[in-house]
Amino acid sequence: DTAVSQTPKYLVTQMGNDKSIKCEQNLGHDTMYWYKQDSKKFLKIMFSYNNKELIINETVPNRFSPKSPDKAHLNLHINSLELGDSAVYFCASSQRQGYEQYFGPGTRLTVT
């Protein structure tokens, strides 16, 4: 009965490959987010969607493309993976913009 779920939990791939991470929330929230957490635990917001509309698009390489097919889902597609993309990626949701966020368990991406 997980509130925010992500798949896969671990992702190991080679440079140059394309991969996707999926996120689903069953909380009925309007807003969803993608974050990148580096090895020093620094958490950086990448994207946010509100009611399927992109509202936050921080300085992220255009190899990263989010897609929200509906309010409950937010996927992240990454093209041409690079070593520096290795990190833990977290999905989160909130009832509305600015409200407290509920985080998924994370996807640990390792690019070799």
Partner 1 sequence: AQSVTQLGSHVSVSEGALVLLRCNYSSSVPPYLFWYVQYPNQGLQLLLKYTSAATLVKGINGFEAEFKKSETSFHLTKPSAHMSDAAEYFCAVTISGGSYIPTFGRGTSLIVHP
Binding site for partner 1 (CB under 8 A): 4, 33, 40-45, 48, 55-56, 58, 90, 92, 97-106
- CB 13, min distance to partner 1, A: 20
Backbone angles phi, psi at 7, to 5 degrees: -140, 140
- CB 80, min distance to partner 1, A: 27
Which lies closer to partner 1 via its Cβ, residue 8 or residue 16?
A: 8
Sheet holding 73-78, edge to edge: 4-7, 19-25, 73-78, 64-70
Backbone angles phi, psi at 81, to 5 degrees: -55, 140
Which lies closer to partner 1 via its Cβ, residue 71 or residue 106?
A: 106
- CB 37, min distance to partner 1, A: 9
Cβ proximity of 50 and 97 under 8 Å: yes
Other C-beta atoms closer than 10 Å to the C-beta of 73 total 16
